[in-house]
Amino acid sequence: MRSVANFYRDCQDAVGPQPPLDVMLPDSMGCVLAEDVIAPFDLPVADLAALDGYAVRAQDLEGASLELPVKLNVTAELRAGDVEPMANIAGGAVRIASGAPIPSGADAVVALEHTDHGVAQVEVSRSPVPGENIRPKAQDVRAGDVLIGRGTRVGSRQIALIAGVGRNRIQVHPRPRVVIISIGDELIEPGEQARPGAVFDANGHALATALSDAGAQTFRVAAVPDERATLRQTIEDQLVRADLIITTGGISYGSGDTVREVLGSLGTIRFDSVAAFPGHILGVGHVESGTPIFCLPGDPVSAQVCYEVYVRPAVRAMQGWSLLNRPTVQARVDRGWSSPMGRREFVRVKLSGKPSSGYTATVMGPTDALLLSAFAESNALAVVPENVTDVRAGDALRCMVLD
């Protein structure tokens, strides 16, 4: 029997970061950078006006006030984007737009609100200090600096910076394409007519949305029956678009559970009993193309718990994340229960409280019953260590925060 830690490591070993891909800037949203983004030039490229006004020599306006305004001759006008060199002379002012380059000789910009908006001459009612309302060259970015380091998630703020230095393509670890296959003769699609013995496929929908939330591109396959040829054909058909395959169901020891037999001829997959509850039989390995595959239980609660513990961290590793696991907090449980000896138990709980006063974990439903309704009400998983069999009300447990 493998420990939770060992099986977690097996899942990590089965995958790796997606190979870097050069993509257009809009397609990088949500991905993790696979390169350092280096500044190709200074930003701003020159001293620029921070607002609309007049570029002046501060010494020409010493003592200017509302009571004693100073008049200057307006010698020119500069707009944003102008590149022709220009100079300001003593006793002169240059009308300037926000973002325009500061003319040589000027060392301040007077805002329009402190002037009479003059065209040939301007009356200034404020005495500026040198550097006022000027964005100095390289204030934002200096050429050669690392703007954004590899391993950073690309969001709208990062895209603004990358675009601001002229890049329209970057290298990222792309979103992994994950195929989800639910297996079982009893499975039918939600929305179909219920019939005796039928079970609606909760796993396919739950895992597809969970994986999408984790950043993956998901493809959910309609439920596949426990028929060897059909299952084999389905897996082979999906390899062309899969960076990872996840199956649910069909891995027990019953005669109708076909996954072991089918995968045995398709690749190298190891099935283990894992010292955990729920989810004590799991599979991990690679199919013939080298595509990693995870085999999860068919029970919807077990499948979702195993996804959180093993699969989600692996999917984040494929995207180049450094932080793989859910955050955890210490919380005191509201009641006690018996936990299985030698197994790490993951119990559905609802956290409440705050850091200053501590957290309480309210257990949702019977701990030994895998109830979808209880899991839906939960926002965390309380983790009971393998050597603990008697949990008492008030005991503090480490809890994985799901929401």
Identity at 40, one-letter amino acid code: P
Instruction: Give pLDDT, residue 51.
Output: 97
Confidence (pLDDT) at 254: 63
DSSP string, 241-295: G-SEEEEES--SSSTT--HHHHHHTTEEEEEEEBSEES--EEEEEEETTS-EEEE
- The end-to-end CA distance of the chain, in Å, is 31
pLDDT at 85: 81
Q: Distance between CA 171 and CA 348 in Å, rounded? A: 39
Segment (H or E) for 400: strand 396-401
- Which pTM does this prediction carry? 0.85
pLDDT along the chain (403 residues), means of 10: 96 95 95 96 94 97 94 95 88 96 96 96 96 96 95 95 95 96 91 89 96 95 90 93 94 72 88 94 92 96 98 97 95 96 97 94 95 96 97 97 94
The type of residue at 112 is L
pLDDT at 271: 92
Q: Quote the pLDDT of residue 251.
A: 86
User: Which residues, listed in sequence order, are joined to residue 361 by a DSSP beta bridge?
Assistant: 333, 351
Distance between CA atoms of 353 and 351, rounded to whole angstroms?
Answer: 7
